[in-house]
Amino acid sequence: MMQGSPDTAHYPSKSDLSILSMDVQRFTSPHYEERIRTMTVAELNVNLEETEGAIRGLSEELVLQLALRDELDFEKEVKNSFISALIDIQNRQKEHRGMIKRKKKLKGAAGTSQGAYLTTVIPYAKTGHPPSTEDLQVLTKILLAMRDDSDKVPSLLTDYILKVLCPT
């Protein structure tokens, strides 16, 4: 879904906005109706074509901006899901470590069978730029499987390593 970054997206320039402002002023001018009444059919047709062209251009720009907004909303949702899953795992890891310490003090036990995947480390290569939305989705899926202590964690990690960290 994320074709390009927001940095490469087209934002309306000041000249685009000033042209739009002039068009609005032209149509709201008190002399506009009087000027229209004195125009010939040919002049009206030219004016109509210009107006339709401006509407098409502005409509296209609106569609592009709405698509960009949707992409940014999706990216924000993915990032929020990742952060929530990460915080949830970190809290569960704290609880897990605390439980192990308490059991060691009470019984001298070496550990517990609950939370088998809470100590799993997800490899990550720092690339100098943040992970893509797709990578965050994969990482979130792994974190949620870890949180749920799912048997899918090893296969998800293997897929992540082979497809994201070491693609062929």
Sign of the dihedral defined by the CA atoms of residues 80, 81, 84, 90, in that order:
negative
Q: How far apart are CA 25 and CA 73, in angstroms?
A: 34
Per-residue pLDDT tens listing for the chain (168 residues):
344 444 545 556 666 666 666 566 666 677 888 888 899 999 999 999 999 999 999 999 999 999 999 999 999 999 999 999 999 999 998 988 888 888 888 875 554 556 778 788 898 888 889 899 999 999 999 999 999 989 999 999 999 999 888 887
Can you give the residue ranges of every domain in the chain? 75-165
Q: What is the pLDDT of residues 104-118, one digit of tens each?
A: 888 755 545 567 787
Closest C-alpha to 92, from 140, 155, 138, 143: 143
Neighbours of 118 (CB within 10 A): 17
Alpha carbon distances (Å) from 64 to 8, 78, 120: 12, 21, 42
The pLDDT of residue 2 is 42
Phi, psi of 112 (to 5 degrees): -140, 155
At 4 the pLDDT is 47
pLDDT at residue number 69: 97
